[in-house]
Chains A and B, each alone.
Chain A
C-alpha cells in the first residue's frame, strides 16, 4: 500500500514536471499548493507510522520530503529566482551554475538543521523562540541581501548599456564589420570572467539562499526531535533540499540556455546586433524582478 502511494506520488510528480516543462504554467500556483497540502498531510501520517515502527514508513517520509521540497520551490521560493536571474544576467557557465544551485539548496537545509539543533542543544530554545530567530532575523537579512544583488545586476546592466551606447554608435547600415566589433565588445574579457566566477560572488549567492531556512523544514526538524527521530528528520531535510534543488537546477539551466540562445544564435547580422543590445535589458529585467520579489516577500514576511 505504501509502495503504491509512493509510486502514485512519483507519477504525480513526473506529470507535474511534464506540465511545467511544456509551459503549462496556468494554475501552477494552485497545483503546487494542492501537492504541498497533500505532502504535508501525508508527512504527518508517515511520521506517526515511523514512530510506531511500521515498515516502509521511512522511505515514505523521505519520498514526501522530496516532493515537498520540489513543490515548495515551484512556489514563490526565492532561491530559484535568484539563481535564474544570476544565470541569465552573467556569463557563468551552466555546470557551475547548477553546482551553485545544488550547494545553495543543501546549505539552506543545513542552516535549518544547525538552527534547530544549535537551539535545542546549546540554548534550549523553545520552538517559538527559534522561529523568531529563523524567520525574522535571518529571513530579513537574506531578503535585503537579495534586493542588493538585484540592485547590483541593474546597476551593472545600466553601466554596460551606457558604455555600449556611447562607445559604439551603430551605423544605420550595419555591416558585418561593425557587428563583429560590437560582438567582440560584448564578449566578456578575461578580467570580467575572473570577476564573475570569483568565489566571493558565488559565496554571496549561496549565502543569500542558505540564510533563509524553509519553515516546513523547521517544522519537520522540531517534530522529529520531539519524536526521537533525529537522524531520520535530518536526512529528510537534506532530501527536501534535493527536491528544492531539482527545480532550482531546471531554472538555472533554462536561464543559461535562454541567454546563450539569445546571444549566440546565428541569425542575420543586424538581428544579432539587436539581440546583443538585449543583454543588458534582460539583465536589468532580471534584477528588477528579483528586487520586486524580495520586497514582496519582505512585506509579506
Chain B
C-alpha cells in the first residue's frame, strides 16, 4: 500500500492507508543525480520529482494554496509547500530501488529536500544516502517505480554524475510487451501452483519501470 498518494494523504490528513487502482493516475517525471565521494565511491542520489499538472492542481488545492487556480503561488504560499511530499508513511520507501547484481542497496531517509510550484506543476527534490554503497567497478542499477503502479514514473534526461568523470549512466525503458507477457505468465504460474495470488502477486510496477544502469571505467 505504498504510493505517493498515501504519502500525501498522510501528510495532509491522518489517514493510515490509501487505496490504489492498478491504472496509473499520477504521472511523475523523475530525475536522478548520482553523487560520488572524494574516494570515487557512490555516496548519494539526488532525486527530483515533477508531478503532472492535473494531480499538482488537486494537491495544491488540497493544501489550500493557489485559491484562484492560476498555476502560480505567492512567496508566502511557497513556504507552506516545504516538505509536502517528504512525510513518508511506514511501508513507503520512496519508489527508488537500487541494486547491484542480486544485492539490494539500502538508502537513507530523505534529506535536504526542496519544493516548488510553478506553471501549474509541483516539483520537489531530495537526497538519499547510499547506506551500503555498491562497488563502482561493477554495473549497478537504479530503478524508479511505484510497486503498486498507481504512480507512473518516467526517468527524464540522462542522470547527472557528480564527483567522477569516467562513469556512464544509461536509461533503460521497460519492454511493454514483455512486461505484459511476464505478468500474464506469472499469474498463470501462480494459479497453476495453487498459490495465493493475493499474497504472492507479482509487483506490477517493477515490470513497467524505467531504470538507470551505471558503469565506471576504472577505480
Interface residues of A (CB under 8 A from B): 26-27, 29-30, 33, 36-37, 40-41, 43-45, 47-48, 51, 72, 75-77, 126-128, 131-132, 135-136, 139, 215-216, 219, 222-223, 226-227, 292, 295-301
Contacts and interface: CB of A to CB of B under 8 A. Distances in A.
A282 to B, nearest CB: 18
B209 interface: no
Contact of B19 (A27, A76, A227, A301): A301
B25 interface: yes
B71 interface: yes
A36 B201 CA distance: 26
17 contacts: A30-B176, A37-B52, A41-B27, A41-B52, A44-B120, A47-B69, A75-B23, A77-B23, A215-B21, A216-B25, A223-B58, A226-B61, A292-B191, A292-B197, A296-B201, A297-B21, A301-B20
Residue of A126, A223, A300 ringed by the most chain B CB atoms within 10 A: A300
Contacts of B18: 131-132, 135
Secondary structure call for the A interface: helix
Nearest to B191: A292
A236 B62 CA distance: 21
Contacts of B70: 48
Interface string B188-205: 000100000110010010
A296 B187 contact: yes
Interface of B: 9, 12-13, 15, 18-25, 27, 52-58, 61-62, 68-71, 120, 148-149, 152, 176-177, 180, 187, 191, 197-198, 201, 204
Nearest to B150: A300
Contact of A300 (B58, B61, B176, B204): B204
A219 B148 contact: no
Given A44-B52, A48-B71, A131-B18, 14 more contacts: A29-B176, A36-B24, A41-B52, A44-B54, A127-B62, A131-B9, A132-B15, A215-B23, A215-B25, A219-B25, A296-B197, A299-B197, A300-B21, A301-B20
Given A27-B177, A44-B54, A296 B22 contact: yes
A134 to B, nearest CB: 8
B52 to A, nearest CB: 6
Nearest 10 pairs of A and B residues by beta carbon: A44-B53, A135-B19, A300-B22, A299-B201, A40-B54, A136-B19, A44-B54, A30-B176, A128-B13, A37-B27
Contacts, number: 104
A147 B15 CA distance: 28
A45 B21 contact: no
B57 A44 contact: yes
Given A51-B69, A292-B187, A223 B61 contact: yes
B22 A297 contact: yes
Residue of B12, B22, B24, B55 ringed by the most chain A CB atoms within 10 A: B22
Contacts of A139: 19, 21
Nearest to A288: B191
Nearest to B120: A44
A116 to B, nearest CB: 13
Contacts of A72: 23
Contacts of B149: 300
Nearest to B14: A128
A260 B77 CA distance: 62
A298 B198 CA distance: 8
A126 B12 CA distance: 11
Contacts of A126: 13
A126 B8 CA distance: 14
Contacts of B187: 292, 296
Given A76-B22, A295-B198, A297-B22, A41 B9 contact: no
A132 B19 contact: yes
A227 B180 CA distance: 39
Contacts of B120: 44-45, 48
B13 A45 contact: no
A44 B55 CA distance: 8
B21 A301 contact: yes
Contacts of B148: 300
Nearest to B67: A226
Contacts of B71: 48
